[in-house]
Structures are given as C-alpha cells and as structure tokens.
Amino acid sequence: SAVISQKPSRDICQRGTSLTIQCQVDSQVTMMFWYRQQPGQSLTLIATANQGSEATYESGFVIDKFPISRPNLTFSTLTVSNMSPEDSSIYLCSVEGGGGNVEQFFGPGTRLTVL
Amino acid sequence: EDQVTQSPEALRLQEGESSSLNCSYTVSGLRGLFWYRQDPGKGPEFLFTLYSAGEEKEKERLKATLTKKESFLHITAPKPEDSATYLCAVVQGAQKLVFGQGTRLTINP
C-alpha cells in the first residue's frame, strides 16, 4: 500500500484565519480524497481531487471554504478558510489502492483546533 | 441513500473473551465493504475488503464475514493491543466511502 504523509500533524489556529494542509504520497495515484472527522464522529468525505481537473465536492462542502489543489500525481493540499471553532476536526487524505482495488488508504491526519 | 450502521457503539471485553462487531448496510449494488481499525489520534488502518455475500477474510485474531445485509468482525481471544475503534465502510458511486459511526472496543487485561 502507498505511504501517505500529512503536514502539519496538528495545529491550533485563531478564528478567521486559514490553514493549508499538505498530503504527500510515495507513488503516483489518480484520485486523492479529503475527509473530515469531527470530534467523536466518523469520517465524512469533503471532496475528491483528480490531477488536472477541478475537485469534486460533496453536498455541504464548498470550494470557497475548502479550496483544494492537485498539482501532480503525488501531492494535494486542502485549505480550511476563514475558520471557526466548528471547523475543529481531524482532516484526513486518502488514496485508492490501485490495480482495480477499491479500498482506500489513509494518511495520519491533521488535528485542527480553532479557538 | 446508502447507509451504514454499526453496533454496538462501545464494547468492553476481558482479555481472551471472544465477541463480534456488527455492520449493517443498505447500498444499491455493493462494490465493496471495508473494515478499518483506528487508534486515537491516527488515521484509519485498512484491515479487509469483502466483495460478495459468503466471503470471509482473516488476519490474526480478526475474521470478517459478509452477508447480503450485514458484515461481522469476529475477534477471537482478543488482547489489550486490539483495543481501538473499528470502522466499517461501503463504496458509494465511483469511489466515495460511506462510513459507519464505529465501534469503540476496549480489551481489559
């Protein structure tokens, strides 16, 4: 399976600011995914990011709030904009297994606290 | 709409006490059901993929089974290091994963 890293691993931010989270994969992948895990909750898909095209957002998530970049096949960023305490969550990126497999492998996550 | 429901929400066992976790799902055209393990402060760790009813997979003390409506994760003679939250998910559409709420498993020594 792919090795996935995320930066930062955690951060504490002030209300109204923005944070960009990086996701790096050790192999080329077509699709990358961004999930949010709110405190005590399960994972919810924010968007799917394909290289060379606009990200596809799930219902309830918009590009102005969560802009995503996907400049190449091994890297993606998610920005959490104009943050409020409700954005305090763990943000996770994942990649498909490849070779026709549909399972996804997850990075270690970024724990965000907004004050 | 596709749904995944896990039970129980939390389970506390003694070391060596076997049990099962349940994942009930409703999905139009199952393309895969997944089990993950998540430790506090970490990302989910992939355990199993099940594709069709009757399929079973094993890994150490864990065994996952699948029927047309639900999946079970059987834990045999668990150890304290098996303590974690176990997540079940199904594929919706192209590759969106829909997760259940998870079962928080605690194994007491």
Tens place of pLDDT per residue across chain B (109 aa)? 778 999 999 999 999 999 999 999 998 888 899 999 999 989 999 999 999 999 999 999 999 999 999 999 999 999 999 999 999 999 887 778 999 999 999 999 9
**Overall residue count recorded for chain B in this entry:** 109
Q: What is the mean pLDDT of residues A23-49?
A: 94
A106–chain B Cβ distance below 8 A for any pair: yes
User: In this complex, which of B46, B96, B99 lies closest to A103 when CB atoms are compared?
Assistant: B46
Residue A52 confidence (pLDDT): 82
Contact A106 B49 (CB under 8 A): no
Q: Reduced to 3 states, what is the DSSP secondary structure of residue A2?
A: coil
Per-residue b or e along B66-102, where b marks 16 or more CB atoms closer than 10 Å to that residue's CB? beeebbbbebeebeeebbbbbbbbbbbeebbbbbbbb
Compare all CA atoms of chain B with the CA of A93 and give the residue at the minimum distance.
Answer: B43
